[in-house]
Amino acid sequence: MMDHMDADDVRQIEAAYKNAVDKELYPKGIYMMANSGEYWAEGVQAWLGVTLRTDVNGGFNTQQKIKDHDKALAAVLEKGYGLGTTPTLSGLRILTQNRTARHVLRYLLKKSRVRCQANLAAASS
């Protein structure tokens, strides 16, 4: 997943992952902690607000929960995606560079369209 990312960003993600492992920040055996790529992928989904699952991420499935619990991961995510659930331009660059992230971006766009359509329908009633 991180093959096309900037080398400095990858190093920061790897360091954040190592910190999380060393400090046992997450429950043992969860999918998020399988490797640094899954750690990053689950973190991105939580940061962007596109996951409701709690089994794969130990319940740390929102931006606020990540910020409160894993400062190193939050710092890398904020650098790439900014605060809130709207990705920054540099975050969009990262999103479009790999298949998993493109899936997340498509989901966000679909979610936004559905919200817009619902808001328009409500406004016209």
CA gap 53, 82 in Å, rounded: 22
With a cut of 70, say whether residue 3 has pLDDT above it: no
Look at residue 52 in the predicted model and tell me its pLDDT: 79
Residue range 36-61: mean pLDDT, rounded: 89
With a cut of 90, say whether residue 110 has pLDDT above it: no
Q: Which residue has the tokens 């939050």?
A: 74
Residue range 101-111: mean pLDDT, rounded: 60
Q: Residue 51: which pLDDT band, with cuts at 50, 70 and 90?
A: confident
Q: Is the pTM value of this prediction over 0.95?
A: no
Cα angle 45, 48, 53 (rounded to 5 degrees) comes to 40
With a cut of 90, say whether residue 16 has pLDDT above it: yes
